[in-house]
Amino acid sequence: MKAVGVIVEYNPFHNGHAFHLQAARQASEADVVIAVMSGDFLQRGEPALVSKWSRAKMALLGGVDIIFELPYRFATQKAKTFANGAVSILDAAGCEFLCFGSESGDLTSFLRTIDYLEEQKASYNEYIKSMMNTGVSYPKALSLSFQQLADSENHLDLTKPNNILGFQYIKAIKQLESSITPLTVQRKNADYHDEHFASETIASATSIRKALFSSENGKNSIDKFIPETTHQLLQKYYNDYGIFHQWENYWSLLQFRLLQTSPEELRENYEMEEGLEYRFIASAIESNSFQEFMQKIKTKRYTWTRLQRTCVHILTNAKKTEMASVSEKATYLRLLGMTKNGKKYLNTRKNHFSLPLVSRLSSYKQKEISLDIKASRIYSLAVPNHHQSELLNQEYKQPPIYIE
């Protein structure tokens, strides 16, 4: 059986994702679609709208055959580390192809740009260093440096978020010496960060989440942009737990962590650098909400996303020592779910996987998975008290989801 991989967050699964899966199958002529999906905290430093189990079920009902969790230590990182972890999982699971959405839609431009930057590596690094010295953020320095070097007509536009991720996916394939063949499809209608609905049936996950949180009628206003199965699972999650997760649900927990931790202890958390600990503590004292706190700590040097990721690491107490030991490859395959077709693939191929397959936490004792467990426990604290134990225990008791 031939497998195509996708790297996703599904926050939540929507019509654009369904289009991507259909295009991935068509372009690769694969028998199976394998998804690597972030867990309960995401690459932009945010809690997922609903739990990884609910999102995994959306994915399986939407066209994915097998879904593995992208471990916390990759899922909450910059694009390069995120990509390395995800690609290593797809490679270990025997994927022949990786299909990603991009603003470009042209694989040649990705390959040309990667080769060009390799040729211009010394100059590129000098530009980056020079830009960083002006006080801009690292992602901004990368973008400005590339603009200084390359003409936009013949190279990839690296100001676009999905182009950036796709660029890192292909670099990861090369770096890991994987035999995976990359494929790309152009994103339809909605840009990644669009906050407003831009078409009749396709909308960004950002705009869908904004609609959910903006009004009493939010759940109804997104119906035409999501499959019916997603609608049903969102409604069930809300009925079961009473919330959709967002940062404000965790503000009191984050504020407590900041106010009861010394600057010296806080400095040990991952991505806490250059005296940010003092700014975080001072702002926590003066802020009444997460939004207000973020506005106080935002600087020219650090992006909103980078600061949110730092907040996630404070919330989960992820230490520099824990995260610094992260290898460029994943060390396990955490199975969240499968379809009948996916189960067939696993039964025929799992003995050839280059990483251990984890279907139950009780059967896997390695310390690398401890951050995933801790992150899921912290995630569950946002729901009302009488539902917390259900989510807390789900991490250990929930078997992989199976869809006939």
Q: Where are the alpha helices (DSSP H) in 133-203?
A: 138-149, 161-175
9 annotated binding-site participant: yes
Q: Please tell me whether residues 395 and 251 are part of one structural domain.
A: no
Q: What's the pTM? A: 0.91
Q: Which tokens go with 76? A: 């909450």
Model pLDDT, residue 185: 93
Q: Please tell me whether residues 253 and 338 are part of one structural domain.
A: no
8 annotated binding-site participant: yes
Q: Please tell me whether residues 24 and 42 are part of one structural domain.
A: yes
Of the three residues 267, 293, 324, the one that is the final residue of a domain is 324
15 annotated binding-site participant: yes
Model pLDDT, residue 34: 98
16 annotated binding-site participant: yes
7 annotated binding-site participant: yes
Q: Please tell me whether residues 371 and 398 are part of one structural domain.
A: yes
Model pLDDT, residue 124: 80
Q: Please tell me whether residues 280 and 359 are part of one structural domain.
A: no
- Residue 97's beta-bridge partner residues? 4, 181
Of the three residues 285, 303, 324, the one that is the final residue of a domain is 324
> Is-contact 53 65, C-beta < 8 A?
no
264 annotated binding-site participant: no
Q: Please tell me whether residues 218 and 95 are part of one structural domain.
A: yes
84 annotated binding-site participant: no
CB-based contacts of 363-370 (< 8 A; 24+ apart in sequence): 364/332, 366/331, 366/332, 368/71, 368/73, 368/331, 368/332, 369/71, 369/332, 369/334
Range of the domain at 307: 247-324
Model pLDDT, residue 218: 52
Q: How many domains, in total, are found in the chain?
A: 2
Model pLDDT, residue 338: 98
DSSP per residue, 187-214 = PPS--TT--S--SSS---HHHHHHHHHH
13 annotated binding-site participant: yes
44 annotated binding-site participant: no
Model pLDDT, residue 151: 63
74 annotated binding-site participant: no
Of the three residues 266, 296, 324, the one that is the final residue of a domain is 324
- Residue 337's beta-bridge partner residues? 67, 401
CATH of the domain at 380: 3.40.50.620
378 annotated binding-site participant: no
20 annotated binding-site participant: yes
11 annotated binding-site participant: yes
342 annotated binding-site participant: no
Helix, strand, or coil here: 400? coil
83 annotated binding-site participant: no
Q: Please tell me whether residues 258 and 237 are part of one structural domain.
A: no
Mean pLDDT of successive 10-residue segments in the chain (404 residues)?
Answer: 96 94 96 97 96 97 97 94 96 97 90 86 81 75 75 74 92 95 81 54 87 68 91 94 95 97 95 92 97 93 92 95 79 96 96 92 78 93 84 87 94
